[in-house]
Amino acid sequence: MPTESPVRYGFRTVWRGPSLALAEIAWRWVWGGSVLLIAWFAAAGYLHSLTVSKYDQFRLSSGNPQWMADAIVHIFSGSGPTVLRLGIIVAPAAIVLWISAATFGRAASLRALVGNGKGLLGRTFALHLWRVVVGVLAFAGIVASFALGVVLMAKSEPPQPLIFMAVFFPLAVLFTAIRSRINWFLLLANVYAAEGRPAGRGFGEAVRGFKRRSGEFMSVGTIVGVIRIVLMGVVTGISFALLPGIGVVPGKVLWAVFVLVTLVYFAVSDWLYAVKLAAYARIVHADIVEGSLPSAASMAEPASSKVPIGV
């Protein structure tokens, strides 16, 4: 196995081939921007659908907190079906956009890493589709846990919130942990898919590969995770440092600085994700080579020496 650590390889690869990180940033930001735009228009349409009577306007302008609260409740009462219809429209649209953006973006990144994109798009699409299925099932499990907690709490006399907490929170954490672990293996399966494995077989090899090289994978995740936590702490500190400027510095300037710092954080975070993906690709390739198994990278330039030059 090469002496260079996977993390160092990941940083070197992304630094020398910035197109790899740009591909990750591009598809994430395109999807995020599209969803925000859809949500904006959906929210605007929802607000325009609300009816505000003259009496509600009078209560809102009265300055009386109780009257204002009653007016807001009256305005939004009965709008539940509208919210449900918007959710039914927006959620599938966001999911379809995510599958499309993630499939093309991840395929481009892996093609730059491994150098062989034959059939990769279809395998990446299948794996991302499974990520959506797992996410929907986990969400359904969390909703069911919430309903179960409410039902059991209501059966007690008087209702005991502790019963709800004892039922809902452990189950919600369990479903979230299961979804997170399966998603991680599906991410790793994308790397095996780039090495020529079918989607289903790639998932199985990802599980077995983690068992063989759990230390290396965990080392990469820990190092990148610590860097992201430190980065998050820096961004949080800068955000709190802006608070004393309220009322002294123009609000637009404070908001501009806050938005800029947030965007920089997201960009660096996505750059670190590309580093992690490159490090995983190095571990997977080494695992395949040492196991004397055929790989897509072995038919081209070895992944240990390849630096992406374009996407």
- Would you write out the chain's pLDDT as a tens digit for each of its 311 residues? 446 788 899 999 889 888 888 888 888 999 999 999 988 888 888 888 877 788 878 887 887 788 888 888 777 777 778 788 888 888 888 999 999 999 998 888 888 887 666 788 888 999 999 999 999 999 999 999 999 988 888 887 777 788 888 899 999 999 999 999 999 999 899 888 888 888 888 888 889 889 888 899 999 989 999 999 999 999 999 888 888 888 787 878 888 988 899 999 999 999 999 999 999 989 988 888 776 444 444 444 443 334 332 33
pLDDT score for 117:
65
* Predicted local confidence at residue 116, as pLDDT: 64
Torsion from C-alpha of 41, 43, 46, 52, nearest 10 degrees: -120
Nearest to 107 by CA among 81, 127, 89: 127
Burial class (CB in 10 A: 0-12, 13-18, 19+), 189: buried
Terminal Cα distance for the chain, rounded: 28
pLDDT at position 3: 64
What's the confidence (pLDDT) of residue 84? 82
pLDDT at 135 (0 to 100): 93
pLDDT on residue 303: 39
